[in-house]
Amino acid sequence: MPWWDTQTHADRRPLLLLRGRIKAGLRARFESEGFAEVECGALAASPGNEAHMHAFATSRIRADGSVETLYLHTSPEFAAKKLLAAGESRIFEFARVFRNRERTRLHAPEFTMLEWYRAREEVGQVMEDALALTRRAAQIAGVERFGHRDRTCDPFAETERMTVADAFRIHAGIELLDTLDAQGRGDRDMLVTRAKRAGFPIAAEDGWSDIFSKVLTAAIEPRLGLGRLTLLTDYPRQEAALARPKPSDPRLSERFELYACGVELANGFGELTDPMEQRSRFEAEMDEKQRVHGERYPLDEEFLAALAHMPPAAGVALGFDRLVMLAASAPQIDDVLWTPLPPDP
């Protein structure tokens, strides 16, 4: 039945009201710590420059009749970092964001991203933020465990902390770091050999990042956040286009993800602020997008210019709808969206 059917809405309404209570509770926590709530515009010159992320394009007609292509943002990240360059130090937003080609039980084309940034603070602090916000959502929902399908997670238990390299070794039998050179560039042939030996099918066109993603999705993510929250840390530099390198090991980055019930909840960085390095990474990502998908997105030149003025910072993007879904033990993301789009046929 459609979401606007009277009985369907009545069944979903308690979850939607819970959504509002969780949002109010998380907003209060940010405000108590001196964060400013911001509202970044959804129209952007560039929707983001990750190879496998897809945007919605639109046309802006200027007063003189000329036409400019703009995009609905896939994250408020570029605009939020411009605000950090402008002088803001602690900001958050419940942002409406848009991603094309995404429609599953865990993905919606339009959804809410809770994003926050701390200027001049370390990535460890925003990790603790993510854990605290997740636990606060459980408290507001009045639950001791999150649930999703046949999996549960106690958000109040001691958090599992695991590096990506350890996860590949433990769950996939692959020594990932052996496939990276001193600067974090991936050796495709070496990873192909290790992945095939571990039983993963590899296509001829798969690059290093494609193989990394296949192993992560198939063998690792379903095993994270089971029984307790998992922080997956130290992503390869090649898989962290917006994160700064890890000072103790330039092959890795200050990127982490938070998991519960096998579901990715949050993605955070120690932010890269070197505009030349950022440009180089974006161009490499767009080259890969052109190779795989036959298209590329423009770079946001204002964003790259602002990076030169941005202070050191750390930030996180948390899937707010997924958090509510887990707190409510709902089987799919549509159950906690007020007006979901129809599913794919």
Higher-confidence position of 182 and 88: 88
Is 90 exceeded by the pLDDT of residue 318?
Answer: yes
The values of phi and psi at residue 243, to 5°, are: -105, 150
CA separation (Å) from 193 to 13, 168, 197? 51, 14, 6
According to the model, what pLDDT value does residue 25 have?
98
Task: Report the alpha-carbon distance of residue 4 to residue 298 in Å, rounded.
Answer: 38
Average pLDDT rounded to a whole number, residues 31-53: 96
Tokens of 308: 């030169």
d(CA 165, CA 239): 13
Rounded to whole angstroms, the Cα distance separating 150 from 298 reads 42
In sequence order, what are the beta bridge partners of 258?
A: 231, 266
pLDDT bracket for residue 345 (50, 70, 90): confident
DSSP character at residue 64: T
Mean pLDDT across the stretch 7-36? 98
3-state secondary structure of 27: helix
pTM for the complete prediction? 0.96
Give 332's DSSP letter: S
Residue 141 in tokens: 């929902």
Residue 185 identity? R
| Tens digits of residue pLDDT in 69-119 | 999 999 999 999 999 999 999 999 999 999 999 899 999 999 999 999 999
Digit-coded pLDDT (tens) for 280-311: 999 999 999 999 999 999 999 999 999 999 99
Q: Residue 321's closest CA among 144, 112, 125, 120?
A: 112
d(CA 145, CA 281): 39
Q: Can you name the residues that pair with 268 across neighbouring β-strands? A: 256, 316
